[in-house]
A and B are shown apart, each in its own frame.
Chain A
Amino acid sequence: MALENRVSSDSGAINWFFQRITGLVLLFLLLIHFWIMHYSGGEENILFDAVVKRLADPKFKVIDLSFLVLGLYHGLNGIWMVVQDYIKSPAWKTTIFSLLSFVGLILVVLGFVAVLPISPDWVNIP
């Protein structure tokens, strides 16, 4: 990739670039999310039956989990950028980077565990 030839890997240029690209994609996912969840339907659109029916559809699983992964990347990368502005000690930076990566991984796993198993049968369980 041309970008990598011009900048050193820890200059932050790649983080900077991905932050803008993920931000743009997130804006579109946000619009879809808001339209479907809060505007296109009534109040019952965020209740159990409607949510399960939606999330049982693989298409929505892909959209929502992409939203989660990109959102977490963008959010945690944002925190990482703030940290780099204030923390200068390499040891602390490494510690915080590992912590943020770990938190991100755990949250992605929790999100997948919550969303992937959802099936249409769930609406029949009392």
Chain B
Amino acid sequence: MRYKWRTGMWAWVLHRVTGLGITLFILEHIYTVSHLQQGRESFDNLMKLFGAPIFKLGELALFAIIIYHSLNGVRVFLIDFFGGASYHKSVFWVLVVIGIIIFLAGAYPFVSPLLAG
């Protein structure tokens, strides 16, 4: 396979990489939810652990990854069903701006408890 490294190609590769990351996260999520069976202390300790800065950072990364995959998914939808192939590049950059806005607005509730100490 030969790759042409233009906007659409990067978008496509990133879509696959972020998709793989999100799928792996489902594993972690099942593990977390299964802690409910072990009672309040076990589950809330895990939640407390996830409140640590390193996990908050991971959460923000996951948030960014999910925003990218969702918005690029919308772009794929436009290309495949709404004749978007002719305007996919401009859609990409419009979605980049929308994605950054969603990230900044959405990241605040994640980080605010940390900032409050």
Contacts and interface: CB of A to CB of B under 8 A. Distances in A.
A49 B107 CA distance: 24
A20 B72 CA distance: 12
Interface in A16-48: 20, 23-24, 27, 30, 34, 38-39, 43, 46-48
Contacts of A23: 73, 76-77
Given A68-B26, A71-B26, A20 B77 contact: yes
B36 A49 contact: no
A18 B106 CA distance: 29
Interface residues of A, number: 38
Interface in B34-62: 34, 36-37, 39-40, 43-44, 47
B94 interface: no
A39 B23 CA distance: 23
A96 interface: no
A85 interface: yes
Interface of A: 20, 23-24, 27, 30, 34, 38-39, 43, 46-49, 51-52, 55, 68, 71-72, 75-76, 78-79, 82, 85-86, 107, 110-111, 113-115, 117-118, 122-123, 125-126
